[in-house]
Chains A and B, each alone.
Chain A
Amino acid sequence: MEAASEMRTETITLNMGPQHPSTHGVLRVILEMEGEVITKATPVMGYLHRGIEKIAENKTYHQFITLTDRLDYTSPFINNLAYVLAVEKLLDLEIPLRAQYIRVMLSEITRIQSHLIWLGTHALDIGAMSPLLYTFREREETLDMFEMVGGARMNQSYFRIGGLAGDLPDGFLEKVKAFCDLLPSRIDGYETLLTENIIWLERTKGVGVISAEEGIELGLSGPCLRGCGVKWDLRKANPYSSYDHFDFEIPTGEKGDSYDRYLVRMEEMRQSNRIVKQVLDKLPSGEINACNPKVVPPLKENVQNNVESLIIHFHLMTEGFEVPKGEAYCSVESSKGELGFYVVSDGSNKPYRIKIRTPSFVNMESLSTMTEGRMMADMVTVIGSIDICLGEIDR
């Protein structure tokens, strides 16, 4: 009797991470728990802070491209694109259509790749192991394609200010076509594993709910916001790099829970595949770099045979080029949401200030709203379904 009256409950504080497999990197969440229920969740980050914005101020405009790959390392081409668009806006450059289309194609393959990683790891977190094995099989194909154009599996830095590092290699378009033909059936395959799987439904339906109004207030963007039913996609709303030349739908959800976010991303992969196919059909021939010798380096064969080209090349590689004084903000729809680059130029060859608006950083702000009042196990689901990348949160 006496023992029972002395029994009491108390709030405990639990550290999740920074070394925890389901936080997708070095994220720490301080949880205040009433039993199994989370009463307060406070994310702590910065463990991966490399000072990329500070480094940018000490590099020439071209040199910084390699660092943009290292923000969200699951979608390198989209990061490149957002940055080069901002600098091209400052320079007022006209990009040839072929280069724009190639940029669109690679961005969309990147989106598919990023979603494949998300699907595999998200499902793994919740206990479904097999999707990872299948999604990484297809991801391997995309990495092979990336290696063909950029020479590396990750961090290719293939987009350059004014265009691209080089034209597409032989056999690349055939490889993309084979991949595009295969992918829809593969996505069907993932869906048979999850979409009607009772365990998956139980773990994701009604978990991590956020309303559209709250999402907008909290700056949520990308598939997370579309999962709440907001039909907003920068590729349609403010088209860049000729996205308006292609037909695609913007999938949306209704309830704003983890399951709707899952459905949105699955459909997004199909739509991206659609865009890639259209690029394959429409891809024009022609130049891949803007006609501006002050920014775009001369062709390799000219550098080897002509001393003026060699001098220009040397100058561009060592000194870089000067960018008119001013500022520009350019944002693109990355695989995770609105990715924006705010570039301030003081007229010199190095950016005066670069601020990167990364979608993961802002989307993470909703984590507390989505998880407070829910069970501890839902935290894992929600972190996975927001699809964060610590590389771009901490910068």
Chain B
Amino acid sequence: MSNIESLVEKIKDKFPQAIEEVVCFRDDYTIRVKREHLLEVFRFLKEEPEYGFNFLSDLCGVDYMGREPRFEVVYHLYSMEHKHRLRMKVSLSEEDLTIPSIVSIWRTANWHERECYDLLGIKFSDHPDLRRILTPDGFKDHPLRKDFPLRGRQTMGED
């Protein structure tokens, strides 16, 4: 069953300049990829039949406040044919919170990226419709950031 292990090794060989780190925890593989090479690696993972990651299960952001780089975008890929999963990550610093959108690869990323923008303030370049999705339009902050308080009131800005 360590098929995915050999596949991860192959990605490392194919994109030596793009991969920053590979971690295996509880049999799940996580690959940290550089932002510049994100689209290229993802296209490969989707289109190469051996990998066949045709399904984007999930996309989300994580705020590691106090760490540098502060933010992370996490992608959970799944292959319906091979039934394997892979977690991909991209690190982002607070000063430059932009990452290429992957809507052109998996259309489902559209709403996931909107949610990530809404709750964490990460901007996705070339996104077709980057608007808030869960909080109201006039909302000012990004509530899932660690420095956003758990309680409080906010007067809504003008929409």
Contacts and interface: CB of A to CB of B under 8 A. Distances in A.
Chain A interface size range: 35 or more
B94 to A, nearest CB: 17
A355 B58 contact: yes
Contacts, number: 88
Contacts of A51: 143
B133 A338 contact: no
Interface string A149-189: 00000000000000000000000000000000000000000
Interface string A349-388: 0001101010001101100000000000000000000000
A85 to B, nearest CB: 12
Nearest to B89: A327
Contacts of A90: 26
B83 interface: yes
Contact of B150 (A54, A92, A357): A54
Given A327-B30, A355-B62, A357-B76, 4 more contacts: A54-B143, A237-B83, A329-B87, A342-B58
Interface stretch (B2-10, B11-19, B31-39, B106-114): B106-114
Given A46-B134, A46-B136, A331 B57 contact: yes
Given A326-B25, A328-B26, A357-B76, A49 B55 contact: no
Contact of B58 (A58, A232, A340, A395): A340
A216 B54 contact: yes
The 8 tightest CB contacts between A and B, nearest first, are: A219-B108, A355-B60, A357-B58, A46-B134, A217-B107, A49-B134, A326-B25, A237-B83
Interface of B: 25-26, 28, 30, 54-58, 60, 62-63, 74, 76, 80, 83, 85, 87, 106-108, 110-112, 119, 132-136, 143-144, 148, 150
24 contacts: A46-B135, A46-B136, A51-B143, A53-B119, A54-B143, A89-B26, A216-B80, A217-B106, A218-B107, A219-B56, A219-B108, A238-B85, A329-B28, A329-B57, A329-B58, A329-B85, A329-B87, A353-B62, A357-B58, A361-B111, A362-B108, A362-B111, A362-B112, A364-B111
A218 B108 contact: yes
A246 B132 CA distance: 43
Interface of A: 45-46, 49, 51, 53-55, 58, 89-90, 92, 216-219, 230, 232, 237-238, 326-329, 331, 338, 340, 342, 344, 352-353, 355, 357, 361-362, 364-365, 394-395
A143 B66 CA distance: 47
A357 B148 CA distance: 22
Contacts of B55: 216, 219
